[in-house]
Amino acid sequence: MRRMDLRDTLHRQPLLHKFILVSLVLISLPLLVASTVSYLGYSASIQRNVGKYQGDAVRELTANIDTYMKELGLLSTLPYQQPEVMRFLASARQEGRPPSFDERAALEELVKLVFTNGRVDVVGLYLYGERGAAYVLRPDSAAHFSAPGWREESWVEAASRTGRGVYIGLHEVRSTSGAPFEVFSLARKLRSLETGEDLGYIVLDVDIRSVRSKLDQMSTSPYEEVALVDNQGSTVYTKGTGLSGEPLAGYRGAGTLNVTREGREELLTYRTSEVTGWTTVKTVPMAVLLQETESVRRSIVGIGLLCLLLGVVLSVWLSLRITRPLSRLRSVMKRVERGELGVSVPIESRDEVGQLSQTFNLMVSRLSDLGYRLYESEIREKDSQIAALQSQINPHFLYNTLGSISMYAELGGSREVVRMTNNLSRLLRYSIGSNRHEVPLLQELEHVRGYMAIQGIRYEERLSFITEIGEELLGFAVIRLILQPVVENCIIHGFEKGWGSGTIRLSAVRENGCMRITVADDGPGMEPIRLQELRRKILEAPLPDGPGGHGLVNVHRRIALRYGNRYGLTVDSGPGKGTSVSLLLPLVSMREDGHPSREREERYADHTDRG
């Protein structure tokens, strides 16, 4: 009910008010849409660019950590450069047996190389031999040579499966005095270079503060939060308090996504190191990223309001300019409605309203003259229809005339004339004596045979016609009068120019649920350029207005319009190889009343509409 009241209210409004309302809608709606799309597009662009930048920053951060860890990995291979250390690991000894003087010197040299490398802050070194040798140097402690139970450590199983270094996440070790040290470690299995036998393991402890200091140096923004999580899910490093209590173990691989934490939206980027298996996580508040968009939004809103105000002023002025002349025209039209044909509208402008007023004045002045012209036009149209009816030739007159010619020719003993007139009479009856669009293939074939009989008399022994069509295809429907133009085309272009004797072969086969009819001749064929032009003309060129030159085009268009663009006519030819014209048609069955199947007609009609 309210909708009807609103519609009636709008209908009763003056044209001036409608113009102003429509102008406001047409100005404000596109302005609102354009402003919203611009703001959202700018915001999305900022997010994409910042997300890419943050992804690059996290990638660089992870790469720096990986470089640091690779340095640690190189330190774990130093025992291979100390033969005495390798012999110590390979030696069989009881638990707690101290090394010899040479072995102790080699071990101290190894410790010196590892602890004074200048790149990695190693605070502990452990050597475990498979046959009982042990060297344990805890942080801020003296070395000892007993390590009972080291085989039960969690890292042993992972390190025993590979010769590469295995990184052990954040954990705590204590010195011999009980002082705690927060470290992460690298364990590597050591093998004999001569035999490949497993000799033992080396474990290096690194002070986690060295990694944290490097991350502090690489993280400079006051708004971002960074966390480093080891492969066990323990937090190695955090900057800021927001990520310290978050479940970060689930972030594996690499990616960027939007998250909401504590009621604020943030952009989170993470990347897992291929070297250590540790994951670097970095977040930045979206409000910080989109600070520039707020100023852009305010500018868009200000400009939009200014444009809307100017649009309102302009729409009111234009509405008045349009509606005032229309109001005058309306009053004059009411006078004409009452029968006053001597009135006119004053013309004050040359725009559409002024042209409308001028046209109205001309209409009024010539109203009676136009009535007379309309009456005269109707009389002339009827006379033209009568003349057209009188000029039509009765086809029965042609049939009777051809019958008389045939009778006199037979009386005169001219059998060729009799055959030609009889065949011509049948051709005329088939061409204009039926209103069906589709006929059985058998009828179309008989029509072509009658045509070829006439051409056979004309060309005597020079022209042969062969048909190769299975009986199972003769009952399917084809479009009426599509084969004779193709055969005629073969005769005109293949044999009429003095090529000598020749053969036209008409065949039909089933092909993928369709029927393919081929008309081939052994005439001179066509050059590739001419063949390409003919194919283009069949597919693209419009039907010519004049007679001739469009038989194949006509056939192709009739097939495509009837059955759809999937079906039609194709041409293949070559110089001295003859020409082959192929027609692809659907298999449409004929009903007992001689019409094509209704289901097939509707199917191909729908297909044509969609095409």
Q: What is the SS3 assignment for 296-347?
A: HHHHHHHHHHHHHHHHHHHHHHHHHHHHHHHHHHHHHHHHHHCCCCCCCCCC
Query: For residue 108, which phi and psi values (nearest 5 degrees)?
Result: -65, -35
Whether 475 contacts 508, CB under 8 Å: no
Do 385 and 477 fall within a single domain? no
> Cα separations (Å) of 262 from 225, 283, 487?
14, 13, 84
DSSP single-letter state for residue 262 = T
Do 201 and 89 fall within a single domain? yes
- Label residue 566 left, alpha or beta by phi (over 0 means left) and psi (-120 to 50 means alpha): alpha
> Cα separations (Å) of 421 from 91, 376, 433?
121, 47, 17
Q: What is the DSSP string of 161-218?
A: T-SS-EEEEEEEEE-TT--EEEEEEEEEEEE-TTT--EEEEEEEEEEHHHHHHHHHHH
In a domain, 456, yes or no: no
In a domain, 285, yes or no: no
In a domain, 273, yes or no: no
Do 372 and 475 fall within a single domain? no
Whether 538 contacts 556, CB under 8 Å: yes
Do 84 and 183 fall within a single domain? yes
Rounded Cα distance between 20 and 312, Å, is 8
Do 358 and 482 fall within a single domain? no
Pick out the chain residues at pLDDT < 70.
1-13, 15-16, 18-19, 39, 47, 217-222, 240-247, 249, 289-294, 341, 367-420, 423-435, 496-500, 541-550, 592-594, 597-611
In a domain, 66, yes or no: no
244: its two tokens? 């310290």
Do 476 and 599 fall within a single domain? yes
List, as own/partner pairs, every contact residues 97-105 make where C-beta atoms lie below 8 angstroms and the sequence separation is at least 24, other chains included. 97/132, 97/145, 98/145, 99/133, 99/135, 99/145
The pLDDT value given to residue 528 = 92
In a domain, 110, yes or no: yes
| Boundary of a domain, candidates 171, 194, 211 | 211
Whether 459 contacts 496, CB under 8 Å: no
Tokens 């690059």, located at residue? 56
Q: If we measure between CA atoms, which residue out of 183, 88, 178, 185 comes closest to residue 135?
A: 88
Do 89 and 207 fall within a single domain? yes
3-class DSSP state of 282: strand
DSSP single-letter state for residue 249 = T
Do 471 and 357 fall within a single domain? no
In a domain, 96, yes or no: yes
Q: Which helix (H) or strand (E) holds 516?
A: strand 514-521
Tokens 């001028």, located at residue? 358
Rounded Cα distance between 183 and 204, Å, is 10
Q: If we measure between CA atoms, which residue out of 145, 169, 150, 171 comes closest to residue 160?
A: 150
The pLDDT value given to residue 571 = 94
Instruction: Give the amino acid at 416.
Output: E
The pLDDT value given to residue 310 = 82
Q: If we measure between CA atoms, which residue out of 122, 93, 123 comes closest to residue 200?
A: 93
- The domain in which residue 96 lies consists of 76-211
Pairing of strands 463-469, 502-511: parallel
What is the 3 state secondary structure string of 61-128?
HHHHHHHHHHHHHHHCCHHHHCHHHHHHHHCECCCCCCCCHHHHHHHHHHHHHHHCCCCCCEEEEEEE
* C-alpha distance across the termini of the chain, in Å: 44
- Cβ-based burial of 288 (10 A; exposed 0-12, middle 13-18, buried ≥19): middle
Tokens 């990347």, located at residue? 271
Neighbours of 468 (CB within 10 A): 10
Whether 169 contacts 184, CB under 8 Å: yes
| Boundary of a domain, candidates 189, 211, 233 | 211
Query: For residue 176, which phi and psi values (nearest 5 degrees)?
Result: -65, -20
What dihedral do alpha carbons 365, 368, 369, 372 form, nearest 10°? 170
564: its two tokens? 């759809």
Do 472 and 380 fall within a single domain? no
The pLDDT value given to residue 41 = 75
3-class DSSP state of 278: coil
Q: What is the CATH number of the domain that holds 483?
A: 3.30.565.10
pTM of the model: 0.43
The pLDDT value given to residue 608 = 45
Do 101 and 201 fall within a single domain? yes
Whether 261 contacts 248, CB under 8 Å: no
In a domain, 509, yes or no: yes
DSSP single-letter state for residue 603 = H
Quote the number of domains for the chain: 3
pLDDT, tens only, 468-494: 998 899 999 998 888 989 998 888 887
For Cα atoms 412, 417, 418, give the angle at the middle one, nearest 5 degrees.
80
Do 470 and 593 fall within a single domain? yes
In a domain, 368, yes or no: yes
Rounded Cα distance between 165 and 78, Å, is 13
| Boundary of a domain, candidates 178, 195, 211 | 211
For Cα atoms 417, 423, 428, give the angle at the middle one, nearest 5 degrees.
120
Q: What is the CATH number of the domain that holds 178?
A: 3.30.450.20
How many H-runs (helices) and E-runs (strands) does the chain carry?
17, 17
Query: For residue 281, which phi and psi values (nearest 5 degrees)?
Result: -120, 135
Do 83 and 186 fall within a single domain? yes
